Structure 1
Amino acid sequence: MRQSNYRAGIQNAMRLDGVYAMRVLPAAGRQAKSLAAQLAHDRSGNVLILSAVAIIPILGMIGGAIDASRLYMARTRLQQACDAGALAGRKAMANITTLTTAEKALAKNFFDFNFPAGTYEATNVVANYVRGAQPGTVAGTASIVIPTTIMRLFGFETVPMSVTCESTLSIPNTDVMFVLDVTGSMLETPDGDTQTKIAGLKQAVKEFYAALGPGTSTGAGRVRYGFMPYSSNVNVGKIVYALNANYIAGGTGVEEVEYQTRKAVTTPIYIPTYGTESAPGGATTSQPSTGYTDWADTNAYVSGTSQADCNRKSLPTGNSTTNSTQSSGTRGTAAYPQNQVSTPYSSQQTTTQPEYRYDYRQGYVRSGRSWVFVQVCMEQIRTKTTTVTSNWNTTTPVSWATQEQFASWNYAVWPVDVSSVVQNGSANNPTYWTGLTNGGNPNINEGNVGTGNYYTTGTPSTITWDGCIEEAKTLNTITATSALTAPSGAYDLDIDLIPNSADTRWKPFLPAIQFRSDNRDWLGRQNGWIQQGFAVCPREASPLGQYASDYVATTKSSARFNTYVDSLTAVGGTYHDIGMIWGARFLSQDGIYAATNGDAAAPGGFQVSRHIVFMTDGTLDTRPNANDPWGINNLQGKIAPTGTNENGLEAIHRRRTSIICNEMKGKGFTIWVVGFGIDTMPTELQECATDAAHWTLAIDSAALRAEFQKIAQTIGGLRLSS
């Protein structure tokens, strides 16, 4: 505790007057007594005599007052110098358990600066600083010897005096929410700088932590940090889902959300299933005969016989032959809604019967040079064929199944069940066709990449949810001049919104299922829209949390804190309002985090000091055709009427930012605004800051680091111990 010694200084001055009184007043009394005896009867000149007698004590009183005043001023200056050294030593203190030699020297330098040599002609000036009795405090002592002026006449040439001082970094329960612009322009390098803006931002945030510190691990003095990186969206959905599944559409059951997407148009295809074939029925038989064929020689004969002998010759016995054939039957093709089909069958049996005879022949035949008389008995054959044909049929029952065959896509706003993708993180893609097609691949997309070229890419069969959101229901009647109070029904502007209905719940951001209906561009493809910032999802946010458990005093850093900051990347357009509203929701003591953010939940029950540290490198960059937390405005008109141009849309977003800032001020937040690498601060952001002292411009990374440290030191409140 500081020990003032103001009373001691006054007592020193009073003591001098007292000593003077003790020494001077008795002598004056004796002289007065002698004079009184001599002039007992002579009263002329009494006033002059009495005045001469009184001047000596009066001189002592005036001299004592003058020296007392000098001593008081010297002591005040000494106390101020001691305090300055203690404050400087505590600010430089890296380890709360130790005050190093260098830190002591720095404290002494500040003392010397505030009490330079020769001040009030003081001598024997001594100042010492050590670590105080409590960790994190710096204690000091200072002493001097002051020469007197008038009091030298009375034997008091010097007066010693000393003071004590002590300082500590006194931090109340503090919540700091960083709302950080991580849009594509953060990849640029400012003129004259040596690193990109995103790299400079990371360094500045780390140095902010080093300046403010981790706070206490337990008890009052807790410091929590949260992060809300934003571009054209914020990544908060999975955090909110873990907090309460009912806050996200589809989090607790089947729920449909309307998206600008596509739906397959199909035609029914009927698929038959055939049952068991019946027994044959309806047979018919026919027996046509062809008659005998003409007689034909068999080339079997007997020579040298007479006609009588030929006629008496025994005829050969011929065997009949039978051939049979049967068709396997071809089942008929069913036509919907026919409930059975027939299968025709037939068989044929062909019998061939031979008949023989002998034919007598005689005559002369030439043999060499002479003619010879020859008699021949020639065997001949003829046949008769008989065919028997049988016909019958069977029946087979038919049942039908219906399948849909892809015909075309219908591009419009359609409801989509989001329960699976929200609860599991992935789901089957409702815009991917897996059924029958009539030729071609309906999952191949073609479109414009925005540069005059066309892309061809396939739709994925599954979709995933990164955690970005579509906002709760809003109004498209807010204009650039609307009142600064959030209108009823604009749930997306409600800092303390607690969802309990389809209108108030936040929805998953799913560019993989979203298609523009005007030109059928697919937002889920990996070139064009995403690279140009029309459908992006930044790094996941981080709720308020302590970073004290892994604090390293020598480097004033936390590995967990640094790991998160180093993971920030830059992509997309600039929507200040979405970053601000979610930074406020994560900081608010009354909304979805009321249980952990309220003053009653803070250590010691002390009030929490709440701060928004907002950093941006530019003005808004909103796009009518972009897929953002309000869908695609040119097609759905949630923020403004469809057809609103980019300038008009940005004016509305600026006003919405102002509304959110006004609401934050109403909740008692301290809002710091830093413009990085820009020449002027937009008016709405100047007005967003708590006051003119809470916004500033940083031209480059070095300036940004300095501004962040200044904010941290202001929040931290370096104080003298009382």
Structure 2
Amino acid sequence: MIGRGRDRGRSGGFLTRLVHDRGGNTLAMMAVAMIPLLGMAGSAIDTARVYYVKVRLQQACDAGALAGRKFMNGNDFNDAANSQARAFFANNFQTGSMGSEAPVFTPVKTDAGQVAATASVTVPMTVMRMAGFEPVTVSVACEARLEIPNLDIMFVLDTTGSMTETNVGDSADRITGLRQAVMNFYDTLDRAKKPGTEIRYGAVPYSANVNVGMLLRPEWMVDKADYQSRRYLGPETTKAPDTVDNADWVTTAGSWQKKSGSIVTSKSFGRPEDCSPSASTVNTSQTDTTWKDAGKGNGSQTITYTRTRTGSAYSTKVVNARCEITETSYRSYVETRTDTRVPNPNKGQTKAGATTTTYWWSYESVNVPVSRLKGTGARISGGSISMNIAAQGKSRTITWNQQNGCIEERKTVRQSTYDTIPSDAYDLNIDMVPDPSNDDTRWKPWLPAAVFARESFTKWSVPAVRSNLDFTNLQDVNSGQNAPCPSPAKLLQAFTRTDLQSYVNSLIVGGKTHHDIGFLWGLRLMSRDGIFGDVVNTGLNGAKNAQHLIFMTDGETDTDNTVYEAYGLSGLDRRRTTSFTTNDAQNNEQDTIVANRLLALCQVARRKDITVWVIAFGTTMPALLSNCTTEGRSFEASNTAQLNAAFTNIAAQIAKLRVSK
């Protein structure tokens, strides 16, 4: 029995004996209990390690995606942006962190033009490896987006004649490149905006003037205005005295006929702002025979001339704002002409003097009623008036409407510097509401069909000139260059893509470069405190949209006193210039004044919290323009590709960068 009991005790095993044997077994029991406790602790440690690695990996992925989107060249996720994304990821997740292996980070551009990325890393187990657990692979995804706040964008666009030029490396002219860049800018913002975001666009195309007439209210325009025109004085008929015809011969000239050589004509294009022909290189020599009997029995005689020409002659004209240069090349060109003369049958007879009618004009400043040009409605709609200024004092109909709705500015101050804007420089006060009782505060319509030069197109005489000569009318000379009116400006509005494309396609080019007038009206159209405040302040739910003015030009200030612009015919009106000596002197003076006025307006933009961006297209950035904005907001674009990049970079900086997932 005892033996069997001892056998049963042995058969119970170590644990059974340990239960029954209470002497000295505490330490052993604790060792056994630690086994599951160690498993639990090891699992917690490794789980915490994996969690920490995942958090750091997600943060690094977000940082890399944000950097990649920030450094994109517009919508181009190029090598530089990719490199920045990877560098930011590496700086935020060190290889070997928590014993992890080398991470894998893959950034890509999404279809929406954003940056998405994935990151993964393998984390070996520490404590749990003793229990046979394999390494864990941690993966995360991230995406960085540019999101657009509610925005007001005002394009102030140089549409001067030089926009017809083609930059080196481009296949199309500058205005074509501008149209494309504006639409790419629109597309960039449109892709980045959230549902419910409001983006409004306005536009002020400019050259020597701006087409804003149909945006004004009738009470903001004068009823009468002075123009440099002409007043018809009436006809004067005179009769020359009778004379005796003592000529021996009556001569009839023949026509030139080619004998040898050739004439080759070719066309090229130059700068519209300086559309003048090169000097002629044509050399001409001529010989002739003596008068010989024509053999007709009536006493008639003939003479033959032979003319030889070599070299080239040049002519120019502005066609659709392009300076068209025609070269006529004479290549040993020989031609002959035969003239015939017969005895004068009326010799010795009295010839009655001719009767002529002379039409007299006084070229002077003329006060013109213009109220009929206002049209009807809340805003000016245009109209027509008649003036007796056509040839022989006949009536000319003058129309002012959407197509030629430029304006003459209200009162300004003659001075060359504008450290501060004078209180009586009403034109530079962008918020001043016109006073119907004070014409100095109101605008007047721009009427090139009514404006005449004095004596000649380049000879100016301010006092009235009495003449029987038909001096030049500015519109008759060249309405695209000497009397330019850009495409109509647009108030802030929510353009559809189709509408904006149609608008930029309609932009016309021509004229000189007056930066101040474009910038002035860009500010005026977007000022919350100005005459268009009712439009500007209709933001989403009454909120104030962020305001950005994008100023693009392809050249420095370029004025000319022969141009009829926003301050009249500067060679005669001289509203801004303080003196007049020679054309070049006045032009240089005007250039300086226009530049200084622009800088004064740039300060106005800063005070109004309007962000200004400047792009120099096809030219180097003038100091004048770079000084108009802050560092990082001016761009040079030598071709269309760089112009696109400039516009899309502006769009990227306007947007707010955030992690979307």
Could you say whether these structures have the same fold, taking a TM-score greater than 0.5 normalized by the shorter chain as the test?
A: yes
Task: Name 1:597's counterpart in structure 2.
Answer: 536
Measured after TM superposition, the shift of residue 421 of structure 1 is 2.4
Distance in 1 (CA, whole Å) between partners of 2:148 and 2:368 is: 50
Within-5 A mapping of 1:266-665: 408-423=360-375, 425-432=382-389, 442-443=392-393, 460-465=396-401, 466-477=404-415, 479=416, 481-483=417-419, 485-500=420-435, 501-519=438-456, 521-526=471-476, 528-531=477-480, 533-548=481-496, 558-598=497-537, 601-643=538-580, 645-665=586-606
Secondary structure of 1:442's match? helix
Distance in 1 (CA, whole Å) between partners of 2:494 and 2:553 is: 25
Deviations 1:600-653 (A, max 9, x none): x32144331100111100101111232111012221220112415211110111
Task: Name 2:645's counterpart in structure 1.
Answer: 706
Task: Name 1:670's counterpart in structure 2.
Answer: 611
- C-alpha distance 175-153 of structure 1, shift in aligned 2 (>3 A): same
Larger Rg: 1 or 2? 1
Distance in 2 (CA, whole Å) between partners of 1:126 and 1:623 is: 60
Task: Name 1:716's counterpart in structure 2.
Answer: 655
What amino acid sits opposite 1:79 in the alignment? Q
Task: Name 2:296's counterpart in structure 1.
Answer: none
Residues 424-433 or 489-498, more deviating: 424-433
Residues 234 and 468 in structure 1, CA contact (< 8 A), matched pair in contact too: yes
Residues 46 and 125 in structure 2, CA contact (< 8 A), matched pair in contact too: no
Distance in 2 (CA, whole Å) between partners of 1:184 and 1:165 is: 49
Measured after TM superposition, the shift of residue 543 of structure 1 is 1.3
Residues 554 and 616 in structure 2, CA contact (< 8 A), matched pair in contact too: yes
Distance in 2 (CA, whole Å) between partners of 1:577 and 1:83 is: 43
What amino acid sits opposite 2:371 in the alignment? S
User: Which residue of the other structure, out of 46, 55, 75, is the alignment partner of 1:75?
Assistant: 55
Distance in 2 (CA, whole Å) between partners of 1:233 and 1:130 is: 43
Measured after TM superposition, the shift of residue 86 of structure 1 is 8.8
5+ residue gaps in structure 1?
Answer: 1-28, 35-56, 93-102, 250-254, 269-404, 434-440, 445-458, 549-557
Distance in 1 (CA, whole Å) between partners of 2:184 and 2:84 is: 24
Measured after TM superposition, the shift of residue 686 of structure 1 is 0.6
Measured after TM superposition, the shift of residue 207 of structure 1 is 0.7
Pairwise CA RMSD of aligned residues?
4.4
User: Which residue of the other structure, out of 164, 183, 187, is the alignment partner of 2:160?
Assistant: 183
- C-alpha distance 713-125 of structure 1, shift in aligned 2 (>3 A): closer
- C-alpha distance 73-504 of structure 1, shift in aligned 2 (>3 A): farther
- C-alpha distance 568-267 of structure 1, shift in aligned 2 (>3 A): closer
Task: Name 1:258's counterpart in structure 2.
Answer: 226
Task: State the TM-score, normalized to the length of structure 1.
Answer: 0.57
Measured after TM superposition, the shift of residue 186 of structure 1 is 0.7
Task: Name 1:344's counterpart in structure 2.
Answer: none
Task: Name 1:196's counterpart in structure 2.
Answer: 173
Distance in 1 (CA, whole Å) between partners of 2:105 and 2:566 is: 65
Residues 177 and 587 in structure 1, CA contact (< 8 A), matched pair in contact too: yes
Distance in 1 (CA, whole Å) between partners of 2:482 and 2:109 is: 58
- C-alpha distance 628-108 of structure 1, shift in aligned 2 (>3 A): closer
Structure 1 position 234 matched with structure 2 position 210:
yes
Task: State the TM-score, normalized to the length of structure 2.
Answer: 0.62
Distance in 2 (CA, whole Å) between partners of 1:222 and 1:263 is: 53
What amino acid sits opposite 2:229 in the alignment? T
What amino acid sits opposite 2:230 in the alignment? R
Distance in 2 (CA, whole Å) between partners of 1:585 and 1:124 is: 55
Distance in 2 (CA, whole Å) between partners of 1:620 and 1:138 is: 41
Task: Name 2:261's counterpart in structure 1.
Answer: none
Residues 575 and 621 in structure 1, CA contact (< 8 A), matched pair in contact too: yes
Residues 429 and 513 in structure 1, CA contact (< 8 A), matched pair in contact too: no
Secondary structure of 2:440's match? coil
Distance in 1 (CA, whole Å) between partners of 2:471 and 2:513 is: 22
Task: Name 2:12's counterpart in structure 1.
Answer: none
Distance in 2 (CA, whole Å) between partners of 1:521 and 1:703 is: 46
Secondary structure of 1:611's match? strand
Measured after TM superposition, the shift of residue 77 of structure 1 is 3.2
Secondary structure of 1:474's match? coil
Distance in 1 (CA, whole Å) between partners of 2:421 and 2:362 is: 37
Residues 174 and 608 in structure 1, CA contact (< 8 A), matched pair in contact too: yes
Deviations 1:467-517 (A, max 9, x none): 10000110112x1x431x321111111121221231111110001001123
What amino acid sits opposite 1:592 in the alignment? I
Secondary structure of 1:178's match? strand
Measured after TM superposition, the shift of residue 205 of structure 1 is 0.8
Task: Name 1:245's counterpart in structure 2.
Answer: 218
Secondary structure of 1:177's match? strand
What amino acid sits opposite 1:543 in the alignment? L
Secondary structure of 1:706's match? helix
- C-alpha distance 110-217 of structure 1, shift in aligned 2 (>3 A): closer
What amino acid sits opposite 2:512 in the alignment? G
Secondary structure of 2:227's match? strand
Deviations 1:582-615 (A, max 9, x none): 11111111112212213xx321443311001111
Distance in 1 (CA, whole Å) between partners of 2:483 and 2:228 is: 13
Distance in 1 (CA, whole Å) between partners of 2:167 and 2:116 is: 44
Measured after TM superposition, the shift of residue 460 of structure 1 is 3.5
Residues 67 and 149 in structure 1, CA contact (< 8 A), matched pair in contact too: no
Measured after TM superposition, the shift of residue 427 of structure 1 is 2.5
Deviations 1:504-560 (A, max 9, x none): 11110001001123437433434x3424x2211111111111124xxxxxxxxx111
Deviations 1:261-280 (A, max 9, x none): 11223599xxxxxxxxxxxx
Measured after TM superposition, the shift of residue 149 of structure 1 is 5.5
Residues 620 and 650 in structure 1, CA contact (< 8 A), matched pair in contact too: yes
5+ residue gaps in structure 2?
Answer: 1-25, 32-37, 237-356, 376-380, 457-469
What amino acid sits opposite 1:698 in the alignment? A
- C-alpha distance 145-592 of structure 1, shift in aligned 2 (>3 A): same
Measured after TM superposition, the shift of residue 415 of structure 1 is 1.1
- C-alpha distance 224-414 of structure 1, shift in aligned 2 (>3 A): same
- C-alpha distance 186-136 of structure 1, shift in aligned 2 (>3 A): closer
What amino acid sits opposite 1:634 in the alignment? G
Distance in 1 (CA, whole Å) between partners of 2:160 and 2:508 is: 8
Distance in 1 (CA, whole Å) between partners of 2:371 and 2:184 is: 42
Distance in 2 (CA, whole Å) between partners of 1:181 and 1:699 is: 15
